[in-house]
């Protein structure tokens, strides 16, 4: 009989990786999932809501780890609580229940428990909890996908040869197969030519779990049926009050567990899409109703509702179709990696968010900055590959509020500087975006940083303290002398020609930027050089060639 599997697979690194991969995966799939959203209401925000839910969970967990870096159970509890508090929309609330129940089972695991069995049991408990949380469960939704995944995990875990990775793989594969069947279970999906949006989001989350455990990239593409790619939902988006409730009501509720059954009974007849999740005195309540007051009053009778949110579906869809607010003008929102860059972008009139290494702005922070501009048209420059998805999610939220937002996917601070240089608020928005995007893409960018630990890079092995040269986001040079590495990067960037070199000096750059300027003047006469004092951490020099 094979030896029992050890529980070492459930460690803090795995949980951290899952949290980041889930955010990245839903960020990448957000627009696709939004386009699939036809049930229960075709308001096109399921992907965004699920992304915001896992983002809130991750951020809450990271905040808890700052206080106690090594406590796995505290990290999982914080992730569950963050998902509960940050859950958005019908699918986001259900996802928070699934994640919470699974992590609670993992948190109870003992040293003798086989991790494959723990995961399978957690999936079964999570699925049961999700079905119980929904007032009227409907097949062909995220619930069906969760059920298929949990059944596959349970079957795979019965084989003692299967380790955790194999069980999670079985769950993720079964989820994708179940997703492909959702149009046959729910006629509305079949009529629209799409799979279920919430189920698609759950597949992304399960793929992230598989990748975090196995270290291999899991399949994240949606199933295809009859077309090369899943089409955008073909569903009318007129006045929704004729066919269903007009409002989505959500609130957090502080109430004892004994108050929830009567709350469900009272809310059930008021509308549909009722979901109540949580426990231990804190609940997240979601329902679609016509009578907003009655839904809130039911919560007051059960306990203390707070963070009450009401969305009028018809208005939301009308805004998404082009209705704009009374805002005026055009402004920029820019993420800056250092105090000097903050000053530079602020002087240009932008609303600036602090970013950089270890400081990624959240969707809520980007949305707040967009709203703070007071502008009708907003252009966002994330200046960092990890912030692009966050900016796009914030843009989606802002569009629902009547603000027209365009995200130019700048991946480096110097690309943001290049885009800013050609920004002209007086010309039409489309022309401005085209010119700024072209300038950003035309800026070949690089950087110099210092290795924090021994590692294998795309340029070969490096040791802690080595100087690393970065070209277009990839490590290209490993060296010992910062000037030699910097000029090596510049030589590669200038190999394709160029008229202007931009150098952004970091917090500990010394006279590196000036030394590189002199090198450019000697090695490439006729090329202009512009130097900025960015003050960014970890990167002594950022550079671009245009």
CATH 3.30.70.120 boundaries in the chain? 246-320
Taking the C-alpha atoms of residue 338 and residue 111, their distance in angstroms, rounded to an integer, is 45
Task: Determine which of 153-162, 421-430, 472-481 has the lowest per-residue pLDDT on average.
Answer: 421-430
At residue 396, the pLDDT reads 87
306 CB burial (10 A radius; 0-12, 13-18, 19+): exposed
Taking the C-alpha atoms of residue 182 and residue 169, their distance in angstroms, rounded to an integer, is 20
Pick the CATH number of 444-545 from 3.30.450, 1.10.3470, 3.30.1180, 3.30.43: 3.30.1180
Taking the C-alpha atoms of residue 193 and residue 232, their distance in angstroms, rounded to an integer, is 8
At residue 230, the pLDDT reads 38
Report yes or no: 99 and 57 within 8 Å, Cβ to Cβ: yes
| Superfamily of domain 330-441 in the CATH hierarchy | Phosphotransferase system, mannose-type IIA component (3.40.50.510)
Please indicate whether residue 430 or residue 126 has the higher confidence score (pLDDT): 126
**List of residues 6+ apart from 298 with CB closer than 8 A:** 263, 266, 267, 270
Residue 321 pLDDT greater than 60, yes or no: no
Confidence tier at 314 by pLDDT (50, 70, 90):
low
Task: Determine which of 54-58, 218-222, 308-312, 528-532 has the lowest per-residue pLDDT on average.
Answer: 218-222
Of these ranges, 306-310, 454-458, 512-516, the one predicted with the greatest mean pLDDT is 512-516
C-alpha atoms less than 13 angstroms from C-alpha of 30 in its C-beta half-sphere:
26
At residue 326, the pLDDT reads 63
Which tokens hold the place of 224? 């295809």
CATH 3.30.1180 boundaries in the chain? 444-545
Residue with tokens 């086989």: 114
CATH code linked to domain 246-320: 3.30.70.120
- Helix (H), strand (E) at residue 284: strand 282-289
Taking the C-alpha atoms of residue 298 and residue 516, their distance in angstroms, rounded to an integer, is 68
Alpha-carbon 515 to chain mean position: 40
Q: What is the pLDDT of residues 8-65, one digit of tens each?
A: 367 888 999 999 999 989 988 888 898 888 877 776 788 888 999 999 999 999 989 9
Domain boundaries 7-221, CATH class: mainly alpha
DSSP letter at 389 equals: H
Which tokens hold the place of 297? 């009053």
Taking the C-alpha atoms of residue 137 and residue 151, their distance in angstroms, rounded to an integer, is 18
Alpha-carbon 367 to chain mean position: 14
Report yes or no: 130 and 180 within 8 Å, Cβ to Cβ: no
- Cα torsion 410, 413, 418, 420: sign: positive
Q: What is the pLDDT of residues 484-541, one digit of tens each?
A: 999 999 999 998 888 999 999 998 888 999 999 999 999 999 899 999 999 999 899 9
């Amino acid at each position: 009989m094979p030896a029992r599997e050890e529980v070492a697979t459930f460690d803090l690194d795995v949980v951290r990786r899952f949290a980041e991969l889930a955010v990245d995966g839903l960020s990448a799939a957000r627009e696709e999932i939004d386009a699939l959203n036809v049930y229960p209401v075709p308001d096109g925000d399921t992907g965004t809501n699920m992304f915001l839910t896992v983002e809130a969970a991750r951020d809450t967990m990271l905040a808890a780890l700052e206080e106690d870096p090594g406590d796995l159970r505290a990290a999982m509890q914080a992730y569950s609580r963050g998902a509960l508090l940050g859950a958005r929309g019908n699918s986001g609330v259900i996802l928070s229940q699934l994640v919470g129940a699974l992590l609670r089972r993992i948190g109870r695991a003992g040293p003798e428990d086989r991790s494959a069995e723990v995961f399978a049991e957690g999936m079964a408990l999570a699925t049961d909890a999700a079905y119980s949380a929904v007032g009227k469960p409907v097949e062909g939704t995220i619930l069906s996908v969760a059920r298929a995944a949990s059944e596959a995990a349970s079957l795979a875990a019965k084989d003692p040869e299967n380790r955790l990775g194999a069980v999670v793989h079985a769950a993720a594969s079964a989820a994708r197969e179940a997703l492909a069947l959702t149009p046959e279970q729910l006629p509305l999906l079949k009529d629209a030519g799409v799979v279920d949006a919430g189920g698609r989001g759950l597949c992304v989350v399960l793929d992230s779990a598989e990748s975090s455990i196995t270290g291999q990239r899991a399949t994240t593409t949606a199933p295809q049926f009859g077309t090369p790619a899943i089409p955008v939902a073909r569903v009318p988006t007129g006045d929704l009050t004729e066919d269903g409730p007009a409002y989505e009501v959500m609130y957090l509720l502080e109430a004892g567990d004994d108050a929830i059954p009567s709350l469900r009974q009272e809310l059930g007849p008021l509308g549909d899409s009722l979901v109540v999740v949580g426990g231990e005195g804190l609940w997240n309540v979601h329902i679609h109703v016509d009578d907003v007051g009655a839904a809130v009053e039911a919560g007051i009778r059960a306990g203390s509702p707070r963070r009450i949110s009401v969305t009028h579906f018809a208005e939301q869809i009308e805004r998404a179709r082009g209705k704009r607010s009374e805002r005026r003008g055009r402004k920029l929102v820019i993420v800056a990696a250092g105090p000097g860059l903050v000053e530079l972008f602020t002087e240009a009139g932008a609303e600036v968010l602090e970013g950089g290494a270890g400081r990624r702005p959240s969707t809520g922070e980007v949305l707040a900055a967009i709203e703070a501009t007071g502008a009708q048209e907003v252009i966002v420059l994330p200046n960092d590959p990890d912030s692009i998805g966050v900016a796009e999610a914030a843009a989606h939220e802002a569009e629902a509020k009547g603000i027209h937002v365009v995200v130019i996917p700048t991946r480096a601070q110097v690309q943001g500087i290049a885009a800013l240089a050609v920004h002209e608020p007086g010309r039409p928005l489309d022309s401005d975006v085209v010119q700024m995007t072209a300038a950003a893409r035309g800026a070949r960018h690089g950087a110099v940083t210092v290795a924090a630990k021994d590692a294998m890079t795309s340029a070969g092995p490096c040791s802690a303290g080595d100087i690393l040269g970065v070209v277009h986001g990839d490590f290209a040079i490993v060296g010992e002398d910062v000037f030699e590495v910097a000029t090596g990067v510049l030589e590669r960037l200038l190999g394709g020609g160029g008229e202007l070199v931009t150098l952004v000096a970091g917090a500990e750059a010394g006279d590196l930027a000036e030394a590189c300027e002199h090198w450019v003047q000697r090695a490439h006469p006729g090329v202009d050089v512009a130097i900025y004092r960015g003050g960014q951490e970890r990167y002594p020099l950022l550079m671009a060639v245009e």
